[in-house]
Amino acid sequence: TEMSPESSLWRLVKNNLPGHLCRIENVVGVGCPDVNACYKGNEVWLEMKVCKGNFVYFKASQVAWFQKRMKEQGNAKVVIQWNYYQKGQRVPHLLIVHGHTFLDAQEHWVPMKNKSIRVLVSEFFTEDSYCFSKPYDWKLVRKAIFAP
């Protein structure tokens, strides 16, 4: 059986990030991010997303979770895998977006029928986001993910 894009992204992150990483199956709570990670005392929640074209899709429950967590100054990020086409070649990128940056892009959210939203990936290219192209520098990815 072929893995879903999100499962492939989880495997990539799990195999390359240090620390204690737990993939959360969403029986815990609706909207709870996919992964909880802890490295040298720094804990972070990670929502794993794979772009469909140039769009990232979020459920309303995921948005609500981020709103509550950011209000309490929690550390949560969105890890987005995005394929940038350069001269017809697919160049995979990893984008690390802080929860605040995700919520600050609200004016660019496009509501969908099923209470989900879609966001153009370029809306997340801000000063406090990190973008890495393949081959990924995992030391820098780690710093971006575990930064407060």
> Looking at residue 4, what is its pLDDT?
86
> Looking at residue 143, what is its pLDDT?
97
> Looking at residue 100, what is its pLDDT?
96
- 120, 44, 139, 128: which is closest to 82 by C-alpha? 120
Angle at 122 between CA 120 and CA 125, to 5 degrees: 135
Q: Could you report the average pLDDT of every consecutive run of 10 residues in the chain (148 residues)? A: 84 97 77 94 96 94 96 97 87 96 95 92 94 95 95
Give the integer Cα–Cα distance in Å for 139 and 137.
Answer: 6
Contact yes or no for 93/51 (Cβ under 8 A): no
Give the integer Cα–Cα distance in Å for 68 and 72.
Answer: 7
108 secondary structure, DSSP code: G
Contact yes or no for 120/108 (Cβ under 8 A): yes
> Looking at residue 105, what is its pLDDT?
94
Task: Using alpha carbons, list the distances in angstroms from residue 124 to 11, 21, 56, 103.
Answer: 23, 24, 10, 10
Please state the pTM of the whole predicted model. Answer: 0.93
